[in-house]
Chain A
Amino acid sequence: MSGGGGAPKGVATRLVQLLVLVSVYALLWGATHVARDSHGTLDTIVATGFLLLAGTLASEVLEPLGVPHLTGYLGAGILAGPYVLHLIDHETVENLSQVNTLALALIALQGGAELKLGLLRSVLRSLTYATIVQVSFVMVAMTAVFVGVRPLMPFTSGLTLSAVFGIALLWATLSVTRSPSALLGILQQTRAKGPVATFSLAFILSSDIVVVVLLAAVLSVARPLIEPGTAFSVADTFREVGHELLGSVALGTTLGLVLAIYCRFVGKQLLLVFIALGFGMSEMLRYLRFEALLTFMVAGFVVTNLSNQGEKLLHAIEKAGGVVFVLFFATAGAHLNIPLLKKLWLVTLILAGSRMVVSIVAHRLGSSLADDPPAVKRWGWGSLISQAGLALGVAAVIERSFPTFGPPFRSLSLATVAINEMIGPILFKLALDRTGESSNAPEALRSDDHGHDAAERHAEETSEESPQPVSSETAPL
C-alpha cells in the first residue's frame, strides 16, 4: 500500500501493526467460532475487509525483512484461507473472485498506461529477441520436461505418446505466461526506475498478446494429437484468434479514446468510472468473447500515447491501486490449494524449478543476442518467474477445452502457479534491489543509465584500480 517513497517506520510502529494484525485474526477467529454457519454473500463483506486489513498489515510487518508487499498479501490470504485457519471458506473465496474482475481491469489499464511508445522503442530490440527466444526456448524445453516427468503424473498413464506430447505442448504454453499483476504490484511498491524495470514492463505486458495468439494456435495443434480423428484447421484457429484480438484492440482503442476525452473534459470521480468499467465492461467483454486484459491494456495504452491524459489516468489508478493489489493478491493467497501442493509436491517442484531455469537460460541467451545492458543481462529474468491470474485463466481454458484430462491438468497448474506466485515477486524485488532500481535502494546501488549495476561498477572499478566517484550521471533513469 505504501510506496517506497514513504518515511521509514520505527520499531514501535511495526509492533503496533503486529499487535493489530494478531488482533484482527483473533477477532475473525472468535467470530467464526461464535457463529459457525456461513452467511452466504454477506461473508464476502467481512472477508473483503479482513483481507484488506490483514494483507496491508502483513506486508508492513514483513517489510523490514525486505519481503515484497505482494508476498505479505499472499501470506495473509493463505493463513486465513480455507486450507489453513479456515477463517474464510471456499464459497466466500469464490465470491471474492468477482472483486478480482475489477482488480484485473485496473491492473490491465495501468499496465497499458505505463507502456509509453518511447519506452517500447527504447527496448524494441531487446523485446523482439526476448520474445522469440523465450517463447521458442520455453516451449521446446518445457514440452520435453513434461514428457520426461509423465510417470509422476497419474492422469497421463494409458495415453499414447502423441497425446502426452499434445498435453505437454499445452503445459509449455502455460509456462510462457507471466504475471502483469505481480510486475505492476512490485513496481508500484518499489517505484523502481531503470533498465531492468523498463525491460520487464515492456516484456511482461506485451507477452500477454503473445500468449493469446500462442494459446489459440497450440489448442488447434494439440487437439488432433490428443483426440485422434479431430481435424486441424488453421483457418478456424486464426478466425477465432482474429476475432478475439482485433475485437479487443478495436474496443480497447474506443474505450481509451472515450477515457481520454473524459479525463480531459470532466476528469472527476475516476474511481467510480473504473468500477463501472471493471464490472460493466468486463461483463460485456465476456459476452462478446473478447480478451478483457488485452482490451483494458489497449485502452490504457491509447490514453497514454494518443492523448496527454496518461499521467492523470495513472495517478487515479494508483490512488485505487493500493486497495486493489492487496485484495487481488490476498484473495489469490486464500485461493492457494495447500493440500494439493502437498500432494503434488514432487512433480510441481520439478515443473516449477525447470520453468525457472529454462526462463533464466532463455533470458540470458536473448539478452546476449540483443546486446542488452549488463544489469538487464544479469537481472532481467527476475520478473519472468511470477505467474498469477493469467496463467490460471489459461489453465481454465485448457480445462474447458479438454474435459477428459482438464481437471487434473488444472490442479497441477494451480500447484505450480502457487509456487511461482510465492517465489516470483521475491525474486523480482531482489533483482530491482540488487540493481539499485528500487526507490529505497541506497544511491551506491543504483544502476547507471547504461544499465551497469552496483556489482558491475565495483568490478570495473577494481579492475581499473582507480576508484571513481559515482557521477551525477548515475542517477536512475
Chain B
Amino acid sequence: MNTVVVLMGLLLLSYLGSFLTSGGKGGALRGAGLPSGSEFLTLGVLAGPLVFNAVTRSALETFDPIAYVGIGWLALSSGLEYGNVEGRRVPFGRIFEGILYTLISGAAVAAAVWFVLPYLVKITFADRLLLSGGLGCVCAETTWQAIRWMRVRHRAAGPATDLMSDLAHSDDLVPIAGVALLFALRTPPRAMVHLPPVAWAGATLVVGVFLGILAALLLGRDLRVAESWGTLLGVSLMTIGLAARLDLAAVTAMFALGATIAFTSRHRGDIRAMVGTTERTVLLPTLVLAGARIDPPSIGRLALAIPIAIVARVLSKLLIGYVAQAHRAVRGSGVMLGVGLLSSGGMSVAIGLAFALRFPGIGDVVLATVVASTLVGEIAGPVALKRVLDRAGEVPEQTPEPPQVAAEDDHEGEHDEHAHDEHAHEPTPEGGAS
C-alpha cells in the first residue's frame, strides 16, 4: 500500500481520536469505543502481515519516526499525569502501593518467562534477559484508561473508583524504569564512549530531566498557548530524537521530561490540559501501527513466551487483587478485583512498540505479547471492574449519557480561547489551570 495512503489513514485515525477526546458539544463521543482501544490494535493486526498484508513491513518502517513520536508523546502525557488524577494528587501511600503491585506483577511475569522459556526454546542469556525483562515491563501495569472509561461511560464515582484510579495512575514508574535499564543493557552500537549500563540508564533520565527543566524555564511566568506548543513540541522532539540517536529508551526520557515539567513548572495544570487533549489523537494511530507490526513468522518458537507471560500476569493480578482487598472500599470483591486489574492499554503498547523498534526479533515478541495481553484484558477487565464498582455501589443504575468527567479533557475549549487571545494564565496556588 502506498505510504501516502497509509499516512492518510493514520491522519484519519487521529481525526477520529480527536473527536473521542473532545466529543463535540456535550461530549457525545466520550467513552465511546473500548477502554484500551483494542479495536484499533485489531485494525492494525488485520491490516498487517498477519492477515491482509495491506501494509508491508517496509512500508511500516517508513513510519518508524511517527511511531517514535507517538510513543514519546504518550510517555510525556503519562509523565505529566503521574501521581495525579484529574488535578488531585495521589497520596504517597497509594503511589507506593501502586509501585509495589507493579513490581510484583512485573517480577512474576519476568521470572516465569526466565525460568520456563529455556525448557521450550534455545535462547542466549542476553536474549533471555531482554525478553523476560521486556515482558515483565509490558505486563506489569493496569491502564488508567480503563478506570477513566468506567467514570465516563458508567459514571462511576466513589472511594473504590478513586482507589483504582490512584493505583492505576501510580504504576507506570516501574515499567518505565525497567525499559531504561533494559535498553541500556545493550551498549548503544554507535556510541563513541563506553559506559556501564546503569550509567546509560542514568543518561536516559538526565536527557529527560535536563530538557524538562529547560522547558519549564522557557514556559516561564506567562503561558501563551501558541508559543507553548512550539516549546513543548521542540523539547519533546529533541528528547525523543536524542534518545533514539543514542539508542536509549525514548519512552523513559519522555516520561522523565513530563514528570519534570509537572514537578517544576507552575503551569503544570495547563500543560496537562494541553497534552491531554491530544492523547487520543496520538494513541489511535500508535495502536494501529503497533498492531500492524505483529508478524508471527518473524517471531518463531519464541511465541511460546506469550502464553507464559499472560498466564503469569493473570495469576499475579489475581494475587494483587486479593492483597488489595485490605482496602475497605473494595473488601469482599473476591476474584473480580484481580480480573478487573487485567486491563492494559496505551502505555504498555507504547513500551512494547519501543521494544519492537529497538530490538527487532525479541522486541517483536514483546509487542505481540502486549497486544495479546491487551486483548485478553479487554475481554475480562472492564466487565470485572464494573462488577467490583457495582458491588461497591459506585455505578449508578441508569447511565443515560456519558458525562464530561475527565478534567484533562475539559480544558480544550479554554485553550482554544487562550490560543485566540494569547491571554496569559495566572497560576492557581495548586498549580492547576486558572
**B contact residues around A34 at 8 Å (CB):** 191-193, 246
A13 and B217 alpha carbons, distance in the complex (Å)? 9
Q: Is A301 an interface residue (CB 8 A)?
A: no
Instruction: Return B74 CB to nearest CB of chain A, in Å.
Output: 15
Q: How far is the CA of A57 from the CA of B219 in the complex (A)?
A: 12
Please measure, in the bound complex, the distance between the C-alpha atom of A3 and the C-alpha atom of B227, giving whole angstroms: 9
> Is A202 in contact with chain B by the CB < 8 A criterion?
no
Residues in B whose Cβ lies below 8 Å from that of A272: 11, 14-15, 18, 281
B226 and A279 form a contact (CB under 8 A): no
Task: Tell me, yes or no, whether A275 is within 8 Å of chain B by CB.
Answer: yes
Judged by a CB distance under 8 angstroms, whether A86 is at the interface is: no
Asked if residues B68 and A323 are in contact (CB atoms below 8 Å), the reply is no
Chain B residues within 8 Å of A28, by CB: 238, 242
Name the interface size band of chain B.
Answer: 35 or more
B422 contacts chain A at the CB level, 8 A cutoff: yes
A3 to chain B: which residues have CB within 8 Å?
A: 422
Within the complex, which residue of B14, B217, B422 is in contact with A20, where a contact is CB–CB below 8 Å?
Answer: B217
A279 touches B4 (CB 8 A): yes
Find the A residue at minimum CB distance from B241: A46
15 pairs, A vs B, C-beta closer than 8 Å = A2-B227, A35-B247, A36-B190, A39-B190, A45-B65, A50-B237, A52-B230, A268-B18, A268-B19, A275-B11, A276-B12, A283-B4, A318-B226, A322-B226, A326-B230
Chain A residue at smallest Cβ distance from B247: A35
Q: Is B89 an interface residue (CB 8 A)?
A: no
The 0/1 profile, CB within 8 Å of A marked 1, for residues 9-29 of chain B is: 001101100110010100000
- A6–B190 CB distance below 8 A: no
For the complex formed, measure the closest distance between the CB of B368 and the CB atoms of chain A, giving whole angstroms.
23
Beyond A31-B245, A31-B246, A34-B191, whether A42 also contacts B68 by CB under 8 A is: yes
How many angstroms from the CA of A53 to the CA of B233 in the assembled complex?
8
Which residues of B have CB within 8 Å of A342? none
A280 with B7, Cβ < 8 A, contacts A16-B217, A16-B220 known? yes
B235: interface (CB < 8 Å): yes
Answer yes or no: A43 CB below 8 A from chain B CBs.
Answer: yes
**A 261-316 contacts with B by CB, 8 A:** 268-269, 272-273, 275-276, 279-280, 283, 315
Residue of B nearest to A49 (CB): B237
Name the distance in Å between A202's Cβ and chain B's nearest Cβ.
Answer: 26
Known interface pairs A268-B22, A319-B226; A276-B241 also in contact (CB < 8 Å) = no
List of B residues within 8 angstroms of A42 by Cβ: 64-65, 68, 241, 244-245
B118 part of interface (Cβ distance < 8 Å): no
Measured between C-beta atoms, what is the minimum distance from B273 to chain A in Å? 16
Q: Which residues of A contact B15 (CB under 8 A)?
A: 269, 272-273, 276
Contact A276 B218 (CB under 8 A): no
A33 touches B192 (CB 8 A): yes
Using A31-B246, A47-B241 as known contacts, say yes or no to A319 and B18 having CB atoms under 8 A apart.
no
Q: Any chain A CB within 8 A of the CB of B222?
A: yes
Q: How many A-B residue pairs have CB under 8 A?
A: 149
Contact of B422 among A5, A27, A323 (CB under 8 A): A5
The answer to whether B14 touches A2, judged by C-beta atoms less than 8 angstroms apart, is no
Partner of B236, one of A2, A49, A268, A319: A49
**Contact (Cβ within 8 A) B419 A319:** yes
Which residues 1-17 in A have Cβ within 8 Å of B in the complex? 1-3, 5-7, 13, 16-17
> Chain B nearest CB: distance from A66 CB in Å?
20
- We find that the number of chain A residues with CB closer than 8 angstroms to chain B is 52
Closest Cβ neighbor of B217 among chain A residues: A16
Q: A35-B245, A46-B238, A272-B18 are in contact. Are A1 and B227 (CB under 8 A)?
A: yes
B64: A residues at CB distance < 8 A: 41-42
Pair B237/A17 contact, Cβ less than 8 Å: no
Which residues of A lie under 8 Å from residue B419 when comparing CB positions? 319
Flag if A43 contacts B241 (CB, 8 Å): yes
Check if A56 is an interface residue, CB within 8 A of chain B.
yes
Contacts of A401 in B (CB 8 A): none
Question: In the complex, what residues of B have CB within 8 A of residue A19's CB?
Answer: 217
Give me the 7 closest cross-chain CB pairs, A-B, nearest first: A46-B241, A49-B237, A49-B238, A53-B234, A52-B234, A45-B241, A35-B190
Whether B11 contacts A1 by the Cβ 8 Å rule is no
Known: A49-B235, A275-B11. A322 touches B230 (CB 8 A): yes
Give the distance in Å from the alpha carbon of A13 to the alpha carbon of B233 in the complex. Answer: 20
B184 at the interface (CB under 8 A from A): no
**Which of these, B14, B224, B229, contacts A6 with CB under 8 Å?**
B224
Q: Contact check, A49 vs B240: say whether CB atoms are below 8 A apart.
A: yes
Residues of A within 8 Å of B234, CB to CB, are: 49-50, 52-53, 56
Interface residue? A48 (CB, 8 A): yes
Contacts of B190 in A (CB 8 A): 35-37, 39
The one of B69, B191, B220, B229 in contact with A45, judged by C-beta atoms closer than 8 angstroms, is: B69
* Contact of A62 with B by CB under 8 A: no
Q: Which residues of A contact B192 (CB under 8 A)?
A: 33-36
Quick one: which of B211, B218, B246 contacts A17, CB cutoff 8 A?
B218
**Are A13 and B227 in contact (CB-based, < 8 A)?**
no
- CA A202 – CA B250 in complex, angstroms? 46
Taking the complex as formed, is A157 at the interface, i.e. its CB lies under 8 A from any CB of chain B? Answer: no
Answer whether residue B239 sits at the interface, using C-beta atoms and an 8 A cutoff. Answer: yes
C-alpha spacing A149/B131, complex, angstroms: 68
Q: Does B359 contact A (CB under 8 A)?
A: no
Q: Does A189 contact B (CB under 8 A)?
A: no
| Cβ-based interface call for A413 (8 A) | no
- Chain B residues with CB under 8 A of A49: 233-241
Q: Do A31 and B227 touch (CB < 8 A)?
A: no
Known: A276-B11, A326-B230. A35 touches B246 (CB 8 A): yes
Q: Which of A33, A269, A273 is most buried by chain B, counting CB atoms within 10 A of its CB?
A: A269
- A475: CB under 8 A from chain B? no
B84 contacts partner chain A, Cβ-Cβ < 8 Å: no
What is the distance, in angstroms, from A90's C-beta to the closest C-beta of chain B? Answer: 16
Chain B residues contacting A47 (CB-CB under 8 Å) are 241
- Complex: chain B residue closest to A321, CB-CB: B226
| Cβ–Cβ contact A27 & B230, under 8 A | no
Taking the complex as formed, is B42 at the interface, i.e. its CB lies under 8 A from any CB of chain A? no
Instruction: Decide yes or no whether A361 CB sits under 8 A from chain B.
Output: no
A39 CA to B244 CA, complexed, in Å: 8
Complex Cα distance, B419 from A53, in Å, reads 19
